[in-house]
Amino acid sequence: MHYFRRKGWEIPEREATPEALFLDRRAVLGAGAGSILAGALPAVAAEEPDPSASLYPAKRNEAFKLDRDLTPEKANQQYNNFYEFGSDKRIFNRVDTLKTRPWTLKIDGMVEKPFEIGIDDLLKKVQLEERLYRHRCVEAWSMTIPWTGFPLKQLVDLCKPTSSAKYIQFETFMDPKMGPGQKLSWYPWPYIEGLTMAEATNDLALMVTGAYGKPLAKQFGAPIRLHTPWKYGFKSVKSITKISFVDKQPKNFWQALQSSEYGFWANVNPAVPHPRWTQATEEVLGKSERVPTLLFNGYGEQVASLYKGMENEKIWF
Ligand SMILES: Nc1nc2c(c(=O)[nH]1)N[C@H]1C(S)=C(S)[C@@H](COP(=O)(O)O)O[C@H]1N2
Ligand SMILES: [Mo]
């Protein structure tokens, strides 16, 4: 008999359909306790305005074009993977506990001098731009999104890694009060990801601080997350607090949880199936259609050279 335990990250392809998209969002939001209370009480605990708001929208870099429509903002903001807040896709209801100011990034490991920098000071040292990117989750759904951010290379240059640094390792915050999912001890918290230095300094690797012309919504991984559009979505680590330059290949969150299914490289390849579902096609978020998945998610021209000679190695999961 074919049987397996069902966990959040193990959804089979046919169940990757975004259920949330078929609900009436307005009805769901309108009926929430929040809106009822908001009417009954004087304004309480309004969020501080985001101090970086005036930096948006940033100028669009026209070099990054899409072959398909943008995913509507609302669809994108209500269908997220952010296990710090739960293993379902509707975490947008529960991200209020994420406090994004003050927010400090710690830089350590093989650098000339370790340092810490506040997010708003970092934003003064980089050049923000908007890029339209495709995103392909390993669960076989995809989205397109107008990110605002800056090339990771700009941050690497600020960090001044030494020549012994071979990889860059990213860490998400570790605070179960902010991210109650971190109370679940079978997950290898904190969420960790990594890239080689060549990947990190490729122009496509983007540090993302905004989306849809505004500072990042919390569910997208505010105030700063990574996006590597040629790799499966789990590489794009959210709400980063620490960046370490190291000489050993980092073991990422999903690899630590299930190394037979998730690895370090995770480059998108429609010809290499996940052990439990095909990667040949993807469900387009916000539309009820499946489209063929592309090698390197369509970004081969920019990144294929990084993997010359490695094509037969395990760089596809
Ligand atoms: N810290 C953290 N980063 C994360 C995740 C997560 O659970 N925690 N999920 C990853 C996965 S599997 C995907 S597909 C993307 C989803 O990004 P989005 O919600 O902005 O679409 O975030 C990635 N980054
Ligand atoms: Mo994902």
For 145-182, the pLDDT digits (tens) are: 999 999 999 999 999 999 999 999 999 999 999 999 99
C-alpha to C-alpha distance for 133 and 147, rounded to whole angstroms: 7
Q: Which of 13-27, 71-85, 192-206 is predicted least confidently?
A: 13-27
Number of the ligand closest to the Cα of 82 = 1
- pLDDT score for 86: 98
Q: Which of 19-23, 99-103, 113-117, 210-214 is predicted least confidently?
A: 19-23
Ligand 1, atom nearest to 219 Cα: 19
- pLDDT score for 102: 97
Nearest CA residue ID for atom 21, ligand 1: 80
Distance from the CA of 125 to the center of ligand 1, in angstroms?
26
**What does the pLDDT look like over 59-79, one tens digit per residue?**
999 999 998 999 999 999 999
**What does the pLDDT look like over 75-99, one tens digit per residue?**
999 999 999 999 999 999 999 999 9
Average pLDDT over residues 239-248: 98
Ligand 1, atom nearest to 82 Cα: 7
Instruction: Say which residues have a Cβ less than 8 Å from residue 54's Cβ, sequence separation at least 6.
Output: none
Encode 173-188: b = buried (16+ Cβ within 10 Å), e = exposed: bebeebbebbeeeebe
Nearest CA residue ID for atom 18, ligand 1: 80
Which protein residues touch ligand 1 with a CB less than 6 Å away? 80-84, 137, 172, 191, 220-221, 233-234, 236-239
The pairing of beta strand 167-172 with beta strand 240-246: antiparallel
Residue type, 268: V
- How far, in Å, are 110, 153, 197, 251, 300 from residue 201 at the CA level? 16, 5, 6, 20, 16
Distance from the CA of 30 to the center of ligand 2, in angstroms?
29
Distance from the CA of 196 to the center of ligand 2, in angstroms?
20
10 Å Cβ neighbour count for 70? 14
Contact status, residue 95 vs residue 219, Cβ threshold 8 Å: yes
C-alpha to C-alpha distance for 252 and 190, rounded to whole angstroms: 10
User: Cis omega before residue 223 (within 30°)?
Assistant: yes
First to last CA, the chain: 27
- pLDDT score for 24: 38
Domains of the chain from N-terminus onward: 8-46 (no CATH), 51-307 (3.90.420.10)
Contact status, residue 119 vs residue 55, Cβ threshold 8 Å: no
